Amino acid sequence: MSRELLCVESLRLRAGEGNEQRSLVSDVSFSVHEGRVTTLIGSSGSGKSLSCLAGLGLLPLGVRRAGGRVTLCGRDLDGLSPAAHRQMLGREAALIMQNPMSCFDPLHTIGSHFQETLAAHENGRLDMDRCTEVLARVGFEQPRQMLPLFPFEMSGGMLQRVMIALALLLGARLLVADEPTTDLDVVSQARVLDILDDLCREQGLGILLVTHDLSIVARLAREAYVMHAGRVVEQGEVTAIFESPRHHVTRELLRAHHDLAGFAPVDASCGAKT
């Protein structure tokens, strides 16, 4: 059995104080293993992104974990000091977000973002060789020329790949990808998905993929969790879920997808390869 990178058990998230409390996520459990893509599927507002952020211990202000356990790379987040937690972020786990244009500080160059990531863990010197190496891994042919560019000088697809490169820079084993292909054109989407697929197969990274696009799930993932209104309503192997969905939310999602994208039978060789 491959190593477990992230384990979330009966997670409960709440917002607000006192009588104003709202439950955002309740009783959500999932796990991510090395060399596998695990997906969280669901419509907007079903608690996918929050569950991911909770998995990294980076909840937004006002949202707190009311229950459950999160084990990130074998360590319980509850028992972790803020400094130790910071050390794990970047080194062990990294996050790739949607809408890459807004994920880079417009005042800093790409090289400066790399330097920042290095500085958070090491001496902060910009190690050119390592930067160009990871940039080459995500498909940049002239990586050295990317470093002096500002984020607004690059396209969304390029920035998304830079974000993946940043995630790889410190050798993180767990990639959390929160809708990594939203807002990208189809060519860039395919490219980003190829890279993620490669990382998972070749390098054995564990990927937690959040998406509402079922064709991406069919293409990449092996395990899926379907979320609805803050709960996991169905989970299991992707092929099984797609072939015989048990919960009506899953059936709705599949039907909507087929209406939109046309029916394509799930290719068993695609997702379930190990």
Instruction: Give the gyration radius of the chain's Cα atoms.
Output: 19
C-beta separation of 221 from 209 below 8 A: yes
From candidates 2, 102, 155, 203, binder to another protein by CB under 8 A: 102
**∠ CA(122), CA(78), CA(167), 5° rounding?**
35
Q: Does the protein bind another protein through residue 166 (CB under 8 A)? A: yes
Spatial distance between the Cα atoms of 47 and 23, rounded to a whole number of angstroms? 10
C-beta separation of 42 from 228 below 8 A: yes
Cβ closest to another protein, residue 11 vs residue 167: 167
Beta carbon of residue 96, minimum distance to another protein (angstroms, whole number): 9
Q: Does the protein bind another protein through residue 199 (CB under 8 A)? A: no
Instruction: Name residues contacting another protein, limited to 53-72 (CB under 8 A).
Output: 56, 58, 60-61
Cβ closest to another protein, residue 170 vs residue 224: 170
Q: Does the protein bind another protein through residue 103 (CB under 8 A)? A: yes
Q: Does the protein bind another protein through residue 87 (CB under 8 A)? A: yes
From candidates 99, 109, 182, 215, binder to another protein by CB under 8 A: 99
Cβ closest to another protein, residue 53 vs residue 190: 53
β-pairing verdict for 75-76 and 63-72: antiparallel
Compute how many residues bind another protein; rule: CB under 8 A.
Answer: 29
Spatial distance between the Cα atoms of 226 and 241, rounded to a whole number of angstroms? 9
**∠ CA(170), CA(91), CA(159), 5° rounding?**
55
- With CB under 8 A as the contact rule, which of the stretches 98-106, 128-136, 137-145, 250-258 interacts with another protein? 98-106
Report the 3 state secondary structure along 140-199: CCCHHHCCCCCHHHCCHHHHHHHHHHHHHHCCCCEEEEECCCCCCCHHHHHHHHHHHHHH
* Site residues, another protein (CB under 8 A): 56, 58, 60-61, 86-91, 93-95, 97, 99, 102-105, 107-108, 116-117, 119-121, 163, 166, 170
